[in-house]
Structure 1
């Protein structure tokens, strides 16, 4: 049951991130894309660049900030998922990047949203 609760929280904050990105001019066109490589939370266009978004939320009392919670293992899984997506859709020549949307409780607003562009790069 705890997994269902975590999944619902994840979907909620993906929605928060999507609304934030739409407000910033990003055209989000896919959510929760799952493949053999892993899951991509959001996919959209920022101008002419195809962007894969990892959404992370950490609440009050968390020992890590949301951006730091993207571990090397998670980065590897995300790179695999993005590679699989690009191959499947034949997008080898497309400008792409992987960004992180880090969300935490806010003080002035309900949430503090940090958009970290090009947060994860193929090594």
Structure 2
């Protein structure tokens, strides 16, 4: 339970980080049969699906390294379901926010829907 609370706290911090960069949060923790999308946001004329990854330290690798091909495929599949169920004519992008301690890194186009 503590790990889940910590994860939710880091996702809230990631949402604030994105807002500070001009993103408008559309949804958080959106679920479908393929899994969860941490944050769905709008950045200008693009709808952005954001994966949030956090680590206390990088002694065992960076947060970015934990985004597997399997995970990206699930996010892409979930995004397709979201788009099918929501009227949206915006371009789509997949970003990642990596959090290591107090360091936040935004990776625009972290992966594509081509995976």
Report TM bin, short chain.
over 0.9
* TM-score between both structures, scaled by the size of structure 1: 0.87
* 2:38 maps to which of 36, 41, 63: 41
* 2:82 maps to which of 85, 88, 94: 85
Q: In the alignment, what sits opposite 2:95?
A: 99
Task: Give the ranges of 4+ consecutive aligned residues of structure 1 lying more than 6 Å apart after TM superposition.
Answer: none
* TM-score between both structures, scaled by the size of structure 2: 0.92
Could you list the per-position Cα deviations for residues 35-87 of structure 1 after superposition, in whole angstroms to 9, with x for gaps in the alignment?
01210001111111110110000112641201111011111111111111011
Partner of 1:32: helix, strand, or coil?
Answer: strand
Long gaps (5+) in structure 1? 106-110
Could you say what the CA RMSD is over the residues aligned between the two structures, in angstroms?
1.2
Q: In the alignment, what sits opposite 2:22?
A: 25
Task: Answer yes or no: is 1:6 the counterpart of 2:14.
Answer: no
Q: What is the aligned length?
A: 114
Separation of aligned partners in 2, 1:94 and 1:62 = 39
